[in-house]
A = this chain, B = another copy of it.
Amino acid sequence: MSSNSTQNVLDKAQQKCVSTGAKLTSKRSRLLELLIDSDKPLSAYEVIDRYNQFSGQSMPPMSAYRILDFLISKQLVHKLSSENKYVACSHITCEHEHSVAQFLICRSCQKVKEIMIDAGIMQGLAHSVEEAGYQLQSSQLELDCLCQQCATH
């Protein structure tokens, strides 16, 4: 069941897609909705399970992976490569351009927060990497954390 605000996000996602000539089909929209409404990242198969349960249909894995890849290419969804799970972008309704984000993952409850770490710090990080003879290619960090709620329990 999608809340009003979820619908707003879906509408905005629809806009972003048409503006780039892409189609947010009903299945794509439904999978995005599942991720938006989830309080934690979902694996591809968890997405499939929820979709099947909701629709009574049976989505083959291949379809889910393709749809997820599509959503990622439109920056509506991010993939957490450390966990091989998917999470809806927190900035779909924002107007600003989406730059690379960092993800704080609670190791206890799996809740994820998408943030943008201060550019100066990321620059320092890149500099440290260069001192070691490497070049930082992506600044999408996935950090092992505790959320506030889990930290106080």
A interface residue numbers (CB < 8 A to B):
81-82, 104, 106-107, 113, 115, 117-118, 120-121, 124-125, 128-129, 132-138, 140-148, 151
CB-CB under 8 A from A143, the residues of chain B are 125, 129, 134, 136, 141
How many angstroms between the C-alpha atoms of A144 and B104 in the bound complex?
Answer: 17
Q: Is the interface of A mostly helix, strand, loop or mixed?
A: mixed
Q: A125-B143, A136-B143 are in contact. List 14 more A-B contacts (CB 8 A).
A: A82-B82, A106-B134, A113-B134, A115-B129, A117-B128, A118-B124, A120-B124, A121-B121, A125-B125, A134-B143, A134-B145, A134-B146, A134-B148, A138-B144
Contact B81 A134 (CB under 8 A): no
